[in-house]
Amino acid sequence: MSNIASAAELIRKGGTLLADPCEVCKGVQIKFKDGILCINCGKKTETEKIVEKTEPKEVIKRKINECILHLNGEDDINKQLDITKLIISYITILDKIKDLEI
């Protein structure tokens, strides 16, 4: 069975396409049950390992960096304002997360 046919079968059985590419080959990944499978290279990862890497603080920091990149290339002043407001919201969330940590 081809990789695409296997991927289609996993999705049919309830698997989910993930937005994050494979760390090895940058291919498309599918989450199914307790694991993640790259349909390109076949790399299998247990879901627990991914959960450790997705700390809320790290996700927010990554989003701030993405916003800054968008802001740098944006000429429309209204879009700049929207992006800046989003960055401020992310920073507020980071502060709240920091306050919750012991």
Do 94 and 65 belong to one domain? Answer: yes
Do 93 and 61 belong to one domain? Answer: yes
Do 37 and 7 belong to one domain? Answer: yes
- Name the packing angle between helices 56-72 and 77-100 (round to 10°): 160
Do 14 and 47 belong to one domain? Answer: yes
Measured at the CA of 51, the angle between CA 18 and CA 64, to 5 degrees, comes to: 75
The boundaries of the domain holding residue 16 are 3-53
Number of domains in the chain: 2
Do 35 and 46 belong to one domain? Answer: yes
Q: Whose CA is closest to 6, among 46, 33, 42?
A: 42
pLDDT tens per residue across all 102 residues of the chain: 567 777 788 888 888 888 888 888 888 899 888 888 888 888 888 876 444 456 788 889 989 999 999 998 899 999 999 999 999 999 999 998 887 765
